[in-house]
Structure 1
Amino acid sequence: MKIHQTAILITSVAAVQARYLGRVNPATKELTWPGTGVSFTFTGTSASIGLAAVNGNNSVDMFVDGGKEPTVISNVTGSAITTPVGLRLGRHTVELRKRSEALYGTLVLGDITTNGSLTVNQSPQRKIEFVGDSITVGYGLDGTYPCTNTAAQEDNPKTYAALAAETLRADYSVVAWSGIGLVRNYATTQADTGPLMPEMYTRYGAYDADNSYTFPGDETPDAVVINLGTNDFQYVATDASGQSYNVREPLDPAVYTAAMVSFVEDIQKHYPDAEFFLLTSPMLNDDYPTPEDAQHTTQYNALEAAIAQIGEKAHLVDWPTQGSSVGCDYHPNAATQAAEGEVLALAIMSVLKW
């Protein structure tokens, strides 16, 4: 009688055969930011990504061989994520990306195992960094208003950011947190006193210490896209009875402009050659809260003023006010995200000559 044994190759996720996607601190291997993950290539019929820890609620997408329809895991549990059954014997590339944000949960990566062998995983030369709030997270993207956002409703791989990067065949990193602002965060009955994006941006993982990000040279982006302002401009809240009231004073556009200039200049210290693309918000419009506020136009003008100070490395990309078909809590749905992804890709392509 012959006994056949299947060899299982085990490798650390930090090995040369696998690469992190987005900002993943190699000291912790923790997936925090939306869109973070791991990519690897193997020859065989199956592979598994070990999970050293699952904290809170997390949703992920697993893409195999560049497929458009990922395997969606709406709530990650257990100690591993395994490739779909039935892969042919051969060479396969796996990409796991976090759909949800750190606010809901994080994942700590373990070892990668396969019944075959791991090979070198190639990284795209083009790189884009996206900095933003819930819009860039993909908050409520898979829902239809009215709905309550959850980790399962968030879908970072379907955001304008991921879709633009895919169109441009670029690797991408996302630093985004729902409710965050440039000069002030979203306010309800009282102001959110949590860290602002210029502070969060300095972190490796979302829960790491300030100034922990090391700006690795091989992760230097060609383009930095910033989509902040939705929460800064918000000053109206709604009470339990549905009545609207002013929770704080309207934003001074000059303060927003100055903060954007300062933020970009800080990033330029690390990425002096990068092109910057500043986006308006589809959640701001010129009729709400009042026509006098004209918030979308006001933000547009404030960004134009910032670009005039930053110089030729900065570019304005307008995201028109969204229509009535929206996701959870009035956030952009998949169609709105996809439309802006096309606009942004064309803008980046034009500037960088890609």
Structure 2
Amino acid sequence: EGNFWLQIVLSAIMFPAVLLLLLSICITLSSCIPPEHPSSLTTQYEITGRHQKLAHSYLFDFSHVRVRFMVAQQGENKEMRADESTVGAVKLSIRVNMRQYTPCAKEKGCDRVKVELFAMDSSVEGSEHPVDEEHQDSQKGMRFSPPQPLVDPQVIQMANASSLYVVNFTFDQTPPSQFLVQLTKITECLVGSIEFYGADIQSNGVSSSWVIMKNQRTDKESTKTEHEQQSIQSSSSRTTTTQRRIEVYGDSLTCGYGILGKDPCPFSSQTEDCTKTYASLLSQSFDAGLSMVCVSGIGLLHSYGSDKVISPVNQYKLLPQSIAADNSSSWNFSLYQPDLVMIYLGANDFSTQPQPSGELWMDYYVKYLDKIWGVYGRNKFPQKFALLCGAAAREHPWCDYVKQIAERWNSVSQAPEAHVLNVAHIQKRPEMDGCNTHPNTEANRLIFENLRPKIQEIMGWD
């Protein structure tokens, strides 16, 4: 009987201690926050770029996948007050529930996500402003300037053991009653993949004064099936932010590999930012949506360092996948239908031995164009193809091949016209070398300024 009462006393003492230990672990790992309900994911968030819908989350690994959601003040926010440490300032905290799905590679680091806040009445994609002659675009007398966020953007550095990330923004004055939050995966699948559960917002510690708005277009279509709703949600940018769409297939020259570094330097997630690439600048300049299907080192047919002419992993085989790292994944091409498809492949195909012959490579390239046209139904999308070629450090008949490909393709009746855009002549000085001699931000700016008037003429876009 004495042992019985002793056990009761010990249990009474140990139970609170165990609870405190579990609570401590939960707080430390930030992983006990319940995921968003699937229905709220569907109705609240706009996903642009290839992704895969899981039971309670979205998974993505390609560069430039974007999650957007609108935030609104709920009623008169009487509780919002100046922060004691900064007179007149208002703090907003965006809490993002996501995790590094694939373990961070020691040599490459973890994924990074850029967080930006935009006013609802401003263009999210881009704008142009007159500038002085020293910085003007010689083609138009204008120089592209990206849209200005409400406050300075911040970058989330992902970590293996975390699932809740809090980003604090400070406003010098009261923020607008509605604004757009934009999360962009600025690293590629070479770094890893991200699982996104949801987000919320707090202001000066008060969570009830701000809410994430439901997507009105999805609400109107609530009678449709879940698959149709996902299609509406993923494509809603065509009605809410832009009518134009660009899709780019490429390798490290498109992903932004080493774009923030200064050669010599090894690649890491810290030196990659796809939002500073020529492709992202083009999409912003034309106020167009952007989907980037790019993987560093992966060629159309032959990938860097492969001992086979036709590599086991290449862009031709990667085309139908929603997740680059998952061969069994399948992308629904109705979710994003581009007006313009840009292809910048060839640098890796002809970088290491054994290389494909010119005829073999051209045959597969034409098949690749036909494959892309086919997945979009051989109908109105895409309207045009832009075939990029050339790089400052490459001396190879790459562009000659691409010209022949365009001629062969354009002979196909009813096919979208293909235009060759040669960027090999763009001067690239040593100071424009990022990591491993890849183009840095200034080099990408030059490529963008060269391509913009050509794309404008091809597409008839302002």
TM-score (norm 2): 0.65
* Structure 1 residue 344: Cα displacement: 2.6
Aligned to 1:269, what secondary structure does the other structure show?
helix
Contact 2:302-2:355 within 8 A present in 1 as well: no
* 1:60 alignment counterpart: 113
1:344 and 2:455 are equivalent in the alignment: no
Equivalent positions of 1:226-241 (< 5 A) are 226-235=343-352
Equivalent positions of 1:246-265 (< 5 A) are 248-265=353-370
Aligned to 1:345, what secondary structure does the other structure show?
helix
* 1:118 alignment counterpart: 212
Aligned to 2:42, what secondary structure does the other structure show?
coil
* 2:342 alignment counterpart: 225
1:82 and 2:166 are equivalent in the alignment: yes
| Alignment equivalent of 1:215, drawn from 321, 330, 333 | 333
- My pick for the range that moved more, 23-32 or 134-143, is 23-32
CA 1:150–1:192: 2 relative to 1, 3 Å:
farther
* 1:318 alignment counterpart: 422
Amino acid across the alignment from 2:153: P
* 2:388 alignment counterpart: 279
Distance 1:210 1:265 in 2: 22
Amino acid across the alignment from 2:184: R
Contact 2:100-2:159 within 8 A present in 1 as well: no
Distance 1:330 1:98 in 2: 23
Distance 1:280 1:113 in 2: 43
CA 1:59–1:282: 2 relative to 1, 3 Å:
same
Distance 2:358 2:393 in 1: 14
1:51 and 2:98 are equivalent in the alignment: yes
Distance 2:211 2:277 in 1: 33
Aligned to 1:161, what secondary structure does the other structure show?
helix
Task: String of CA shifts for 1:2-38, please: whole Å, max 9, x gaps.
Answer: xxxxxxxx77563333111211112361120011131
Distance 1:17 1:308 in 2: 45
CA 1:50–1:72: 2 relative to 1, 3 Å:
same
* Structure 1 residue 135: Cα displacement: 1.0
Task: String of CA shifts for 1:155-174, please: whole Å, max 9, x gaps.
Answer: 11111111110001011111
1:301 and 2:400 are equivalent in the alignment: yes
Contact 1:75-1:152 within 8 A present in 2 as well: no
* Structure 1 residue 107: Cα displacement: 1.1
Task: String of CA shifts for 1:137-176, please: whole Å, max 9, x gaps.
Answer: 1100000000011011111111111111000101111111
Amino acid across the alignment from 1:213: W
Between structure 1 and structure 2, the one with the greater Rg is 2
| Alignment equivalent of 1:24, drawn from 39, 48, 51 | 51
1:333 and 2:443 are equivalent in the alignment: no
Amino acid across the alignment from 1:261: V
* Structure 1 residue 80: Cα displacement: 2.6
Contact 2:297-2:348 within 8 A present in 1 as well: yes
CA 1:72–1:46: 2 relative to 1, 3 Å:
closer
| Alignment equivalent of 1:91, drawn from 178, 203, 224 | 178
Distance 1:323 1:251 in 2: 30
Aligned to 1:221, what secondary structure does the other structure show?
coil
Amino acid across the alignment from 1:252: S
Distance 1:285 1:337 in 2: 16
Aligned to 2:258, what secondary structure does the other structure show?
coil
Structure 1, unmatched stretches of 5+, are 1-9, 236-247, 287-294
1:14 and 2:98 are equivalent in the alignment: no
Aligned to 2:247, what secondary structure does the other structure show?
strand
Structure 2, unmatched stretches of 5+, are 1-35, 74-91, 105-109, 119-123, 125-147, 202-206, 216-236, 411-415
| Alignment equivalent of 2:68, drawn from 39, 63, 68 | 39
CA 1:59–1:53: 2 relative to 1, 3 Å:
closer
- My pick for the range that moved more, 165-174 or 67-76, is 67-76
* 1:100 alignment counterpart: 187
* 1:5 alignment counterpart: none
* Structure 1 residue 251: Cα displacement: 4.2
* 1:245 alignment counterpart: none
Contact 1:11-1:113 within 8 A present in 2 as well: no
Task: String of CA shifts for 1:65-87, please: whole Å, max 9, x gaps.
Answer: 15365312344563233343324
Contact 1:283-1:331 within 8 A present in 2 as well: no
Distance 1:74 1:127 in 2: 29
**Percent sequence identity over aligned pairs:** 24
Amino acid across the alignment from 2:362: T
Contact 1:62-1:97 within 8 A present in 2 as well: yes
Distance 1:205 1:168 in 2: 27
* 2:375 alignment counterpart: 270
Contact 1:183-1:256 within 8 A present in 2 as well: yes
Aligned to 1:231, what secondary structure does the other structure show?
coil
* Structure 1 residue 264: Cα displacement: 0.5
CA 1:194–1:142: 2 relative to 1, 3 Å:
farther
TM-score (norm 1): 0.83
Higher percent of residues as helix: 2
* Structure 1 residue 124: Cα displacement: 1.9
Root-mean-square deviation (CA), in Å?
2.4
* 2:272 alignment counterpart: 154
* Structure 1 residue 41: Cα displacement: 1.1
CA 1:249–1:94: 2 relative to 1, 3 Å:
same
